Amino acid sequence: MKRGIVIGASSGIGRALVDQLVAEDYNVVAIARRVELLEELQRIHAGRVTAIPGDVSNPESIRELLESEFQTNGPIELIVNCAGVGFLNQDLEWKPEQETIRVNVEGFAAIAGIAVARMIEHGSGIFVNISSIAALRGNAIAPAYNASKAFESN
């Protein structure tokens, strides 16, 4: 049985990926902030999905969570990061920009760093990050979002 991790699994692309991976015979660790949605995924895919609450806005805790998963369960074939945030922020207030940077830059870097290091160590694995076309464009009312997506894509 193949093993995968989906981060940002509670809704949208992440949730759809969990469904698809289970259909393709993966056991999936689903990570997200919204516990009730994770528990629903675990119920729907009983025995195939393990729900683990995790918050990408806390890079150190997400690194520890992933490290624990590798240490406990060994190599993982696929890790997909779908977690991300973005805010329209025409007045360039710091708090929304800070949250975007924390999740989309710091959180991504924490996830990518541990995922790629462990996959190299094990000699195999696929790491996928869902970014955005915003990586290729500027945007005066969402500057941190566009810059963070460029960071993820480079």
User: Could you report the per-residue pLDDT of 103-134, keeping only the tens digit for each?
Assistant: 999 999 999 999 999 999 999 999 999 999 99
Position 32 confidence tier, pLDDT thresholds 50, 70, 90: very high
CA distance 145 to 84: 9
Which positions are annotated as active-site residues? Answer: 145
Q: What is the domain partition of the chain in residue ranges?
A: 2-153
**Which helix H or strand E contains 52, and what residues bound it?**
strand 49-53
The C-alpha angle with vertex 39 and arms to 76 and 106, in degrees rounded to 5, equals 55
CATH (residue range 2-153): 3.40.50.720
Residue 35 has pLDDT above 90, yes or no: yes
Per-residue pLDDT tens digits for 65-98:
999 999 999 999 999 999 999 999 999 999 999 9
The answer for residues whose C-beta is within 8 angstroms of residue 11's C-beta and 6 or more apart is 32, 34, 37
- Summary mean pLDDT of the chain: 96
